[in-house]
């Protein structure tokens, strides 16, 4: 199951096994376990995530999506 998340930030913790954090700590990855501290930022995730559930993560990718504005060369 793939989860598209709006915002990710690295943890302030010096421990490399903690992070990234999504939303307002709604979802966090700690030592390859997905922890949900509540789903306030992602209410639609309640359809497939139980806030008390911990899920083991084998691998994950985090993408940053940039909005393209005025990237077309007007001289063409």
Q: What is the pLDDT of residues 2-58, one digit of tens each?
A: 454 444 455 445 455 566 777 777 778 777 787 877 777 777 777 777 777 777 877
Res 56: pLDDT: 80
Res 70: pLDDT: 62
**The total number of structural domains that make up the chain:** 1
Q: How far apart are CA 21 and CA 61, in angstroms?
A: 13
Res 30: pLDDT: 78
Report residue 22 as tokens.
Answer: 């999504």
The residue range of the domain holding 55 is: 1-76
CB 2 within 8 A of CB 55: no
Res 71: pLDDT: 60
Res 48: pLDDT: 75
Res 10: pLDDT: 52
Q: How far apart are CA 35 and CA 19, in angstroms?
A: 10
């Amino acid at each position: 199951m793939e989860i598209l998340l709006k915002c990710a930030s690295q943890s302030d913790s010096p421990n490399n096994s903690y992070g990234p954090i999504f939303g307002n700590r709604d979802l966090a990855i700690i030592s390859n376990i997905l922890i949900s501290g509540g789903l306030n930022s992602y209410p639609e995730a309640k359809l497939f995530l139980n806030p008390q559930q911990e899920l083991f993560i084998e691998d994950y990718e985090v993408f940053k999506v940039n909005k393209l504005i005025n990237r077309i060369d007007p001289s063409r």
